[in-house]
Amino acid sequence: NAGVMQNPRHLVRRRGQEARLRCSPMKGHSHVYWYRQLPEEGLKFMVYLQKENIIDESGMPKERFSAEFPKEGPSILRIQQVVRGDSAAYFCASSPPLWAEMNTEAFFGQGTRLTVV
Amino acid sequence: AQKITQTQPGMFVQEKEAVTLDCTYDTSDPSYGLFWYKQPSSGEMIFLIYQGSYDQQNATEGRYSLNFQKARKSANLVISASQLGDSAMYFCAIGYSTLTFGKGTMLLVSP
């Protein structure tokens, strides 16, 4: 799981600023998943992306949140005009492309801890 | 929709003993995977073990084994010979591609 790289590890933003979280998947993986963990809770799915394509964004808040996974470069989770309630740990996972079968290996990055002050 | 229930907020075990962490699930999908993760105080999510819904045998990975009872919709994690380093939060999850997590069980291992 060390192969999924997230940065920054910690991010502090003032209310109203923008937060950009980056995720580089494991080598050979072209699917990326973002999850959010609020204090004292489990992870909640936000969005699932392939390169240049959003597969499932059913867990994304309707406003202020967006995600992309460009052809080149890391996946970005962007939060505009952050509020205190956005403070959480944001995790990224990646998986290989060839599983019309199931995802049997869901390795996570170390997470980005966003604090909104 | 899928749901995971972990009924034990906290568990205590002595070093070298075995411990079982409970997980029950609900899903309407015919095919799914069950996962366990460990989250130590440092915060990272460490993948422990996976069980496919059609796997005939219970999954094992070192000291971790998954007691999978499909009819009961349970996927309990068994940790044998607990170590102090096993103290952490443990999360059960279900999914096909995206995962649904439970609220977790805090395990404390005492000397």
Is A1 in Cβ contact with B96 (below 8 Å)? no
pLDDT at A5: 95
Tokens 């994690």 locate to B77
| CA dist B38 → B30, B31, B48, B64, B80 (Å) | 26, 24, 7, 11, 15
Taking the C-alpha atoms of residue A24 and residue A92, their distance in angstroms, rounded to an integer, is 9
pLDDT for A1 beyond 50: no
Is B100 in Cβ contact with A105 (below 8 Å)? no
Write out pLDDT tens, residues B82-97: 999 999 999 999 987 8
pLDDT at B96: 79
pLDDT for A28 beyond 50: yes
User: What percent of chain A shows pLDDT beyond 70?
Assistant: 91
A–B: how many Cβ contacts below 8 A? 72
Is residue A73 packed enough to be buried (19+ CB in 10 Å), middle (13-18) or exposed (0-12)?
exposed
Q: What mean pLDDT do residues A44-58 have?
A: 94
pLDDT at A104: 65
Chosen from A43, A91, A95 to mutate, greatest number of chain B CBs within 10 A? A43
Cα distance from B45 to chain A (closest Cα, Å)?
6
The secondary structure of residue B72, as a DSSP letter, is T
pLDDT at A102: 55
Among A4-13, A98-107, B39-48, which stretch is predicted with the lowest mean pLDDT? A98-107
CB A52 within 8 A of CB A70: yes
Residues sharing a CB contact under 8 Å with residue A72, sequence separation 6 or more, in sequence order = none
Write out pLDDT tens, residues A57-110: 999 999 999 999 999 999 999 999 999 999 999 999 988 775 545 556 678 999
Q: Is B54 on the interface with A (CB under 8 A)?
A: no
Question: pLDDT averaged over chain B?
Answer: 95
